[in-house]
Structure 1
Amino acid sequence: MKTKILVLHPNPDNLDAIIKKANLQNSKNGPFEAVLLLGKYDLKACPTVPEVPTYYTGSIEQKEQFTDIMKNLICVTGGFLTLKLASGVKIGFFDRICEDATGDVDILVSFHWPLAIAKTQGLSVIGDREVDKMVTKLQPRYHFAVGTEKGRFYEHPAFPWTPTKACRMISLGQEGSGNKWFYAFSIDPLESLPFVDGVNPFKIESQNVSVVEEQMESGEKLQPLKRASENDEQPVKRPKIVAPQECFFCLSNPNIESHMIVAIGKHSYLATAKGPMPLPQRPLDFSGHAIIIPFDHTPIIEDREQREEMAQFQKTVAAAFYEKSFATVFFQISRPENVHIHTQLIPVRLDGAQEQFERSINERTRQNNERAKFNQLLEFTSDTKQVKAILESKNFIKFVLSMGDKIKVYAAQLVSEKPVDLQFPRRVMSFHLKCPKRTYWDRCKQTKAHEINECEKFKAFYKKYDFTS
């Protein structure tokens, strides 16, 4: 028997209004047998009662696996649970891996995307290989996920499990985000579907994993990308073209170190730095060195929304550090020869920050201009009109010193095709922090466990200011 299902990705702050909308849809386009709310929430009862049984995954473990929060609003907790509707449709709710999960489901609901599909969109960070395992085991006909709290709308092309069974994976944006946040469909658990001639991404992912495992077993080393030359006495060579799937900063890189990601926005993300320069400065118990990275694999920033969101990351991170009596130095190199533009940030003591920073940038500029044989000469200015003209050229080195309400910008014009010392900003900061031995990132490497710990501490520190959550 064919039945109708309504799927929504709600903003939990608007729960009552969303239930009213669901009730309206039920009267106009229903009746629906069930309403599924995507995401993970700690919802409370609201004035409007759902007309249709409405299920959501709880963010807090309940005593019962299915808990009635109010009439027709049911919280699901417990790792992996299945629900069979009167029509015979089986719905699986996946929150964490369950080795005992068996059998097929018609509809699967998870928070994360499967990694195999996330990779096709360059969004590895919102994928989870544990979801892949459940998807391939349960072979749903519909799979709904969001990936992040705000989500995004995406409908993957249908692909086959068998000649008579296909799968559709749909991600929804959150209500109010500007993305599509609702999806209604009909389903018959007994109906056979015509053959779908699509590519099964899980078979491709399985093949890719096998290739990597073969390389590891044979002892073949997976070669990392080489970083730009750090020797300021040699000409800088033209960088090789680096594809997104090979780029350190691209989410489509299957080897991206997602354990270092602090927060993900709509156009950019914040991550802790590999090889952080500063040691923890009390009262901070972590280095504070981080990177703001746009999603787009581009040498300069052209997109306005991307630029605005990166500025929002800067503003909120600076506010968090200022609360702890730290100024924040942001630095960026923008030039056509870049691989993937990004902004780095380092906290410094607020007391005397401007005087010490200007002394540092002046001294390192002097050394660059006097000692380096091949690097182009640098001249920094903080004059507002001159800075504006330099930034409009998209070819510059820029420092921003944020001290609460006071912000100073220093910029130097770069000349295309001429070598530039890519380590110059780190040289300035190592001079400022009096740690010359930590100029190069690879001399400050941490273990993965240390990196994970550093990221978790940054997340806790930034939580109050995190506009992406």
Structure 2
Amino acid sequence: MPEEKIQDSSSTKIDKEVTQDPTPKIIPKKKRKLKLVEVDIKTPTVGLETKEDINRAKLNKINLKISKEFNDDKIVVKKRKLVDPEEHKKILEERRKNKIEELLSIEPSQCHFCFNNPNVADHMLISIAENSYLTLAKGPVSVPQNGLKFPGHVIITPIEHKPKLSSFCIEEEQTSKITDSKLYKELVSYEHSLANMFAKNDMGTVFFDFNTVNGVHYHTQCVPVPVKFLQKVGIAIDRQFKYHGKKFGEDTLVPFKKFVDEEDEEYLKIINDQSMNFIQFKIMNSRGKCEIFISTFDPTNRIDMQFGRSVLAYVLNQPKRHFWNNPECQETVEQEKAHVEKFQVAYNDFDIAK
């Protein structure tokens, strides 16, 4: 009997240990009482929140106005005045004449190519000969390439302020041929010297000029072109000629003639004709060979004076340099001075003014 009691007591103790929860009891904290404060929140007036609501309101306003006009029988339809084509042509012609008169009235003191102009950019001068000078072009169409450390776009300009070659060659020297004048020979010498310089960098040279009574100050522009692109020049001239015909009229420019020699008799006849107005391209490759494309025109016709630059911008794949004053073409005075110095170093052995 006593043994049974002992067993029972031990079993009871084990049962208590098993039934006892091992996890500690968590006593919850007392909740704090929050003091509620009344806040007066004013709801802002909300207007039209979306673009769609704004447009719908505008349309409703327009519809109301239209319906009111219908009700009041006050609808007024304004007829568009058609401009007579002939009248429009006369207006354009009058504007063109006024522009030509304005250009022809420019005095040497106002001309960008004259030394008499106090504002002339003399820091761009490269070389000065007896009758003409060489200067950097403002807003060049070309960029440094083929080892050149400068764009290379320059302008050969007679010192005297005249619109075309015959204006000052014949009057002063009393010669019947422009090509026999000192100025013309000097201009050609500049051209050949520049072509020889660029040839050292495997570059050809393209010269273009307008010889017209409606010009301000005659000049010839010179642009270096990589030899591999020279074949594109003739294609670009034909392309620009067709575009010019569509824009200004097919009869404004005579189709370009091609010559392969500066001494060609027919070519010299055109150059020496005092009454002739023309645009010409002279292409010199790195071996000294020359091709000339020339077109004559009536000075009363409307002519695109950006014709030559457009051709070169296409050849050089520089469409954004079509106009000299485009942002891509602009250079600081410091950049221009640096280009002049580099050009003079490269041109030193070829300068005809030395």
CA contact (8 A) 1:299 1:335 kept: yes
Please say if 1:382 is aligned against 2:262: no
The Cα offsets for residues 171-229 of structure 1, whole Å up to 9 and x where unpaired, read as: xxxxxxxxxxxxxxxxxxxxxxxxxxxxxxxxxxxxxxxxxxxxxxxxxxxxxxxxxxx
**Residue 278 of structure 2 is aligned to residue 396 of structure 1:** yes
* Displacement after TM superposition at 1:465 (Å): 0.6
Match of 1:349 in 2: 226
**Contact kept in structure 1, 2:125 and 2:340, CA below 8 Å:** yes
Cα distance 1:370–1:306, how it changes in 2: closer, same or farther (>3 A)? Answer: same
The 8 Å contact of residues 365 and 378 in structure 1, kept in 2 or not, is answered as: no
In the TM superposition, what is the alpha-carbon distance from 1:376 to its structure 2 partner? 1.8
Mapping for residues 206-355 of structure 1, pairs under 5 Å: 235=96, 237-240=99-102, 241-302=105-166, 303=169, 304-353=181-230, 355=231
| Maintained 8 Å contact 2:248/2:302 | no
Deviation at 1:442, TM superposition (A): 0.4
Q: Which structure has the bigger radius of gyration?
A: 2
Q: Deviations over 1:422-465 (max 9, x none)?
A: 00000111111111111100011211111111111111110111
Q: List gaps (5 residues or longer) in structure 1.
A: 1-230
C-alpha deviations, 1:55-98, integer Å up to 9, x for none?
A: xxxxxxxxxxxxxxxxxxxxxxxxxxxxxxxxxxxxxxxxxxxx
For 2:316 and 2:266, the matched residues in 1 are separated by 28
Instruction: Say yes or no: does 1:427 pair with 2:310.
Output: yes
One-letter amino acid of the structure 2 residue matched with residue 273 of structure 1: A
Deviation (angstroms), 1:390: 2.7
Map Cα deviations across residues 94-138 of structure 1 (whole Å, 9 max, x no partner).
Answer: xxxxxxxxxxxxxxxxxxxxxxxxxxxxxxxxxxxxxxxxxxxxx
Aligned residue in 1 for 2:246: 370
Q: Is the 8 A contact 1:396 1:413 kept in 2?
A: yes
Once the two structures are superposed, residues 220-252 of structure 1 have per-residue CA deviations (whole angstroms, 9 ceiling, x without a partner) of: xxxxxxxxxxx9xx9573142111111000011
8 Å Cα contact 2:146-2:226 kept in structure 1: no
Q: Which runs of 4+ in 1 moved over 6 A?
A: none
Cα distance, 1:373 vs structure 2:
5.1
- What CA distance in whole angstroms lies between the structure 2 residues aligned with 1:424 and 1:352? 18
Q: For 1:382, what is the secondary structure of its paired residue?
A: strand
- 1:462 corresponds in structure 2 to 347
- TM-score normalised according to structure 2 size: 0.63
TM-aligned CA distance change 1:375 to 1:257, over 3 Å: farther
Quick one: distance in 1 between partners of 2:111 and 2:250? 27
Contact 1:327 1:402 in 2 (8 A): yes
Structure 1 residue 310 displacement after superposition: 1.1
Mapping for residues 5-16 of structure 1, pairs under 5 Å: none
Greater helix content: 2
User: What pairs with 1:104-115 in structure 2 (closer than 5 Å)?
Assistant: none
Question: Matches of 2:152 and 2:137 in 1, distance apart?
Answer: 9
> Offset at 1:352?
4.9
Question: Is the 1:332–1:398 contact (alpha carbons within 8 Å) kept by the matching residues of 2?
Answer: yes
Q: Is the 8 A contact 1:250 1:297 kept in 2?
A: yes
Task: Describe the shift of the 1:374–1:250 C-alpha distance in structure 2 as closer, same or farther (beyond 3 A).
Answer: farther
Tell me the distance in 2 between the aligned counterparts of 1:262 and 1:375: 39
Query: What is the one-letter code of the residue matched to 2:293?
Result: Y
Corresponding position of 1:451:
336
Unaligned runs of 5+ in 2: 1-91, 170-180
Q: CA RMSD in A?
A: 1.9
Asked if the contact 2:253/2:296 (under 8 Å) is kept, the reply is no
CA distance in 2, matches of 1:369, 1:267: 36
Equivalent-residue separation in structure 2 for 1:391 and 1:467 (angstroms) = 23
Determine helix, strand or coil for the equivalent of 1:245.
coil
Identical columns (%): 30
Kindly indicate whether the alpha-carbon contact (under 8 Å) linking 1:278 and 1:287 is maintained by their aligned counterparts in 2. Answer: yes
Whole-Å separation in 1 of the counterparts to 2:229 and 2:338 = 30
Asked if structure 1 preserves the Cα contact closer than 8 Å seen for 2:146 and 2:202, the reply is no
Displacement after TM superposition at 1:348 (Å): 0.3
Render the CA deviation track for 1:304-334: whole Å, top value 9, x for unaligned.
1111111111110110001111000000000
Q: Is the 8 A contact 1:369 1:378 kept in 2?
A: no
In 2: Cα distance, 1:275 partner to 1:378 partner: 29
| Contact 1:329–1:347 (8 Å) recurs in 2 | yes
Go from structure 1 to structure 2 and tell me whether the alpha carbon gap of 1:441 and 1:371 turns closer, same or farther (over 3 Å shift): same
**Which one scores higher on RCO, CA 8 angstroms, separation ≥ 6?**
2
- Give the number of the structure whose residues are more often strand, by fraction: 1
Separation (CA, whole Å) in 1 of partners of 2:241 and 2:343 = 31
Structure 1 residue matching 2:209: 3-state secondary structure: strand
- Contact 1:276/1:287, CA 8 A, preserved across alignment: yes
